[in-house]
């Protein structure tokens, strides 16, 4: 028993040491593809492409940053200005300070980033999953800055109440208990097929290695766990959007009745709303059906210009 415990302890220390050394090497190897902007004493990373107004500001999903949206950004940037960013603690952005951070804190973080980067309003917010909650908070706090909002299979403020907080807790526990050194070793040996699959689907080829490094980092795990726990605390109704041009895109492969009902409620937040069901697409609609998202952005820019 004692020998077994000792071996397990040594293995855990070796895994941790391997993980930290590899993560430090990755940080040295990969320069940020965008620019670092100083916001309240910390660097936040954004990728800014194209020209035009209103600027399209992408608010990524739980645990996601610029590398998950580069394909869409490049498509859209041929005719408009498109910004995507890493929230604090993700990608190349510095970790946040100590203490609990709310959805409103993340909305303020985005406001500070756009101000510091001199990206002038109006904005069209393109938000995915949990990013939809942050985008709605931004739109509610700064309605004069937002020309339109696109919600891509967005989370709902009352989601944890309706579908069970245990779902968030279990996912957070799974991430927290994963042995990152072992996971990294499995990836190096080609045994982490789900990572290979996600990398091929989501990352542009020239940033595939950066995507892989990010998904294997300690920073990524910490951010995912934190945002899952934040999701578990949400409750109540989403803020009304009045007559803001709104498009809600729902994944056609989402077969949960409660999810469909929440998507319908989101579409009812504005008097100027369009609800699209992306047939055949899963939760990552921008990956499964990018043409739907791209067309929705073009349409809402046109609607916003006529408003």
Please, which residues have CB within 8 angstroms of residue 198's CB and are 6 or more apart in sequence? 215
Model confidence at 53, pLDDT cuts 50, 70, 90, reads: very high
Question: What does 114-183 look like in DSSP terms, one character per residue?
Answer: HHHTT-PSPEEEEEETHHHHHHHHHHHH-GGGEEEEEEES---TTHHHHH-HHHHHHHHHHHHHS-HHHH
Q: Residue 50 pLDDT > 70, yes or no?
A: yes
Q: Quick check: 138 pLDDT over 80?
A: yes
Residue 290 has pLDDT above 90, yes or no: yes
Question: Is residue 285 a contact partner of residue 151, using CB atoms and an 8 Å limit?
Answer: no
Binning pLDDT at 50, 70 and 90, where does residue 188 land? confident
Distance CA 150, CA 141 (A): 17
For the chain, the average pLDDT equals: 89
The tokens 């090497």 sit on which residue? Answer: 25
Domain ranges of the chain: 2-306
**Lowest-confidence segment of 3-12, 54-63, 67-76, 147-156 by average pLDDT:** 3-12
Cβ–Cβ under 8 Å, residues 220 and 211: no
Dihedral of alpha carbons 23, 25, 30, 36, sign: positive
Mean pLDDT across the stretch 233-248? Answer: 95
Judge whether 108 and 40 are in contact, CB under 8 Å.
no
pLDDT in tens, 249-276: 999 998 889 999 999 999 999 999 999 9
Higher-pLDDT residue of 253 and 187 is 253
pLDDT at 110 over 50: yes
pLDDT at 149: 98
Residues 6+ apart with CB under 8 A from 95: 42, 88, 89, 219, 222
Q: Span 180-195, mean pLDDT? A: 76
State the pLDDT at residue 23. Answer: 59
**Integer Cα distance of 14 and 302 in angstroms:** 56
The Cα–Cα gap between 217 and 26 comes to 9
Q: Where are the alpha helices (DSSP H) in 251-289?
A: 257-267, 285-288
Report residue 190's pLDDT band, with 50, 70 and 90 as the boundaries: confident
Give me the residue label for tokens 């073009």.
298
- The arithmetic mean of pLDDT across residues 153-179, rounded, is 90
Are 50 and 76 in contact, with CB atoms under 8 Å apart? yes
- At residue 189 the predicted structure's pLDDT band, cuts being 50, 70 and 90, is confident
Name the CATH architecture for the domain at 2-306.
3-Layer(aba) Sandwich (3.40)
Q: What is the pTM of this model?
A: 0.91
Confidence of residue 18 (pLDDT cuts 50, 70, 90): low
Which pLDDT band holds residue 244 (cuts at 50, 70, 90)? very high
Whether the per-residue pLDDT at 46 is higher than 70: the answer is yes
């Amino acid at each position: 028993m004692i020998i077994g415990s000792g071996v397990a302890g040594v293995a855990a220390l070796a895994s941790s040491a391997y993980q930290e050394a590899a993560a430090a090497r990755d940080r040295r190897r990969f320069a940020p593809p965008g620019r670092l902007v100083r916001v309240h004493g910390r660097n936040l990373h954004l990728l800014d492409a194209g020209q035009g107004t209103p600027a399209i500001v992408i608010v990524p999903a739980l645990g996601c940053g610029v590398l998950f949206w580069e394909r869409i950004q490049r498509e859209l940037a041929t005719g408009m200005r498109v910004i995507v960013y890493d929230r604090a603690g993700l990608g190349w952005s510095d970790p946040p300070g100590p203490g609990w951070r709310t959805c409103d804190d993340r909305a303020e973080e985005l406001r500070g980033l756009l101000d510091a980067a001199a990206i002038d309003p109006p904005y069209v917010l393109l938000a995915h999953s949990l990013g939809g909650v942050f985008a709605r908070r931004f739109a509610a706090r700064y309605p004069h800055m937002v020309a339109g909002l696109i919600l891509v299979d967005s989370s709902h403020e009352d989601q944890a109440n309706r579908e069970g907080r245990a779902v968030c807790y279990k996912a957070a526990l799974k991430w927290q208990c994963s042995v990152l050194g072992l996971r990294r070793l499995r990836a190096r040996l080609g045994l982490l097929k789900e990572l290979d699959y996600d990398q091929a689907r989501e990352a542009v080829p020239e940033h595939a290695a950066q995507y892989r490094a990010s998904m294997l980092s300690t920073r990524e795990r910490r951010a995912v766990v934190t945002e899952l726990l934040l999701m578990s605390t949400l409750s109540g109704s989403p803020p009304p959007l009045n007559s803001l041009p709104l498009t809600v895109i729902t994944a056609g492969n989402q077969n949960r009745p409660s999810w469909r009902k929440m998507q319908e409620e989101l579409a009812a937040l504005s008097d100027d709303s369009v609800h699209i069901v992306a047939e055949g697409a899963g939760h990552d609609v921008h990956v499964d059906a990018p043409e739907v998202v791209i067309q929705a952005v073009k349409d809402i820019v046109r609607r916003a210009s006529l408003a």
